[in-house]
């Protein structure tokens, strides 16, 4: 009797042991620590994930990237988040891809050449806000996603160094930053980071590993609620600016009537997320410096430096964005932004002008939440696919 009674349990235990062995790497990606540029931990052939026999198969590309790998066919999976003019995002290696299908195989697309990656094409970025806070650096922005191989209309999903099988999305993806110390030649691995891509927009946060709350600021469980909740910001299409900022609240944590609450993301089988119990607080930013896009990406290969071509790139992207929002304010904002002085403080005209331009359209009293909501809804819609995909490979 007793063996019979135990055996289902034992069988279950044995099964889960086998399945754990088949699914999980010996060392999760987030526990692998590297220095740059000499990735001493990287095992040949030049990649940090060598768990080729696990369910998701081999890492697509490599982490040791150099002048030979650089360019439009690069499969470099080492990314950077340094500053307004020097960052990467994760995007597919093949044209017209859905983020949800490719999250495990994304490659680095960067604003600058020189680190063996792909370079984001001229005119793709139409607005970016970089913020450095005590705990992290982030970029939030607007992009013609078809120029970085994301299918038109794809509402996208989240990349982070965890994933259901702890190998990361992308598998073996690394992120470094030179923004955490004073020395721009010292690159620190951001152990915790998250990057949302989709709906012609993106946000990417790299948390300072020296901060004890890095894992909270770069939380990876809120994959369905997008940039507005994970990296709340004032980023606006047509505006390129670099700011200092306060820390945000931890994603998913909010305060109502003095009571601190934690949001729980509902399971997939309850369908699309229709309502949220809160709006994420946008942390204060300061010392913003505004740029024309051409100034910002001067170092990029093929990026037009002349203002006229930069402006037309911005305008055409603005009309792409218009399908999900308001074309007029974007165009107005971009012209006011590019017409503004290169250097201004947070309280000077570019931000104020942008807000005013937006509110005159009557679309919303709060232009920030308009653009963020579009991003949020879109990303939550698409993440359903991402989660289904994750569940499939683990089951």
| Binding residues for ligand NAG (CB under 6 A) | 38, 40, 46, 62, 64-66, 68-69
Which residue, 48 or 317, is less far from ligand NAG as judged by CB? 48
In whole angstroms, the minimum distance from the beta carbon of 388 to ligand NAG comes to 33
For residue 223, the Cα-to-chain-centroid distance in whole angstroms is: 11
CB-closest chain residue to ligand NAG: 46
Which residue, 34 or 240, is less far from ligand NAG as judged by CB? 34
Which residue, 109 or 202, is less far from ligand NAG as judged by CB? 109
In what helix (H) or strand (E) does residue 207 lie, and over which residues does it extend? strand 201-207
Q: How far is CA 392 from CA 19, 283, 385, in A?
A: 13, 37, 11
Which residue, 117 or 324, is less far from ligand NAG as judged by CB? 117
In whole angstroms, the minimum distance from the beta carbon of 62 to ligand NAG comes to 4
DSSP class per residue in 165-188: TSSTBTTT-EEEES-SSS-TT--E
Contact 87, 103 (CB under 8 A): no
241/127 Cα distance (integer angstroms):
8
In what helix (H) or strand (E) does residue 297 lie, and over which residues does it extend? none
In whole angstroms, the minimum distance from the beta carbon of 263 to ligand NAG comes to 40
First to last CA, the chain: 31
By the 10 Å C-beta count (0-12 exposed, 13-18 middle, 19+ buried), 322 is classed as middle
Which residue, 34 or 202, is less far from ligand NAG as judged by CB? 34
Which residue, 78 or 201, is less far from ligand NAG as judged by CB? 78
- CB within 8 Å of 146: residues ≥ 6 apart: 96, 152
């Amino acid at each position: 009797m007793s063996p019979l009674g135990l055996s289902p349990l034992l069988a279950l235990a044995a099964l889960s042991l086998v399945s754990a062995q088949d699914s999980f790497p010996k060392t999760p990606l987030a526990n692998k620590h590297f220095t740059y540029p000499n990735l001493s931990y990287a095992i040949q052939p030049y990649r940090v994930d060598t768990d080729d026999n696990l369910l998701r198969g081999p890492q697509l590309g490599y982490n040791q990237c150099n002048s030979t790998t650089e360019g439009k066919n690069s499969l470099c999976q080492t990314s950077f988040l340094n500053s307004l003019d020097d960052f990467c995002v994760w995007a597919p290696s093949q044209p017209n891809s859905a983020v949800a299908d490719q999250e495990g195989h994304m490659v680095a697309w960067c604003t600058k050449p020189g680190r063996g990656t792909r370079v984001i094409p001229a005119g793709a970025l139409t607005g970016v806000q970089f913020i450095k806070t005590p705990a992290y650096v982030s970029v939030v922005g607007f992009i013609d996603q078809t120029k970085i191989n994301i299918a038109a209309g794809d509402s996208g999903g989240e990349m982070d160094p965890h994933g259901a099988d702890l190998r990361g999305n992308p598998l073996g993806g690394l992120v470094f930053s030179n923004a955490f110390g004073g020395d721009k030649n010292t690159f620190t691995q951001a152990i915790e980071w998250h990057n949302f891509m989709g709906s012609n927009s993106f946000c990417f946060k790299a948390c300072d590993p020296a901060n004890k709350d890095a894992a909270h600021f770069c939380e990876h469980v809120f994959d369905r609620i997008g940039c507005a909740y994970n990296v709340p910001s004032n980023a606006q299409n047509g505006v390129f600016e670099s700011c200092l900022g306060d820390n945000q609240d931890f994603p998913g944590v909010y305060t109502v009537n003095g009571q601190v609450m934690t949001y729980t993301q509902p399971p997939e089988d309850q369908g699309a997320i229709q309502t949220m119990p809160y709006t994420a607080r946008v942390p204060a930013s300061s010392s913003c410096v505004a740029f024309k896009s051409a100034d910002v990406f001067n170092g990029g290969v093929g990026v037009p430096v002349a203002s006229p071509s930069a402006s037309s790139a911005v305008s055409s992207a603005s009309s792409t964005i218009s399908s999900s929002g308001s074309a007029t304010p974007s165009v107005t904002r971009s012209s006011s932004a590019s017409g503004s002085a290169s250097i201004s403080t947070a309280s000077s005209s570019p931000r104020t002008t942008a807000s005013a331009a937006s509110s005159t359209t009557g679309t919303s009293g709060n232009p920030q939440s308009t653009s963020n909501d579009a991003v949020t809804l879109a990303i939550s819609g698409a993440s359903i696919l991402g989660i289904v995909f994750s569940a499939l490979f683990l089951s």
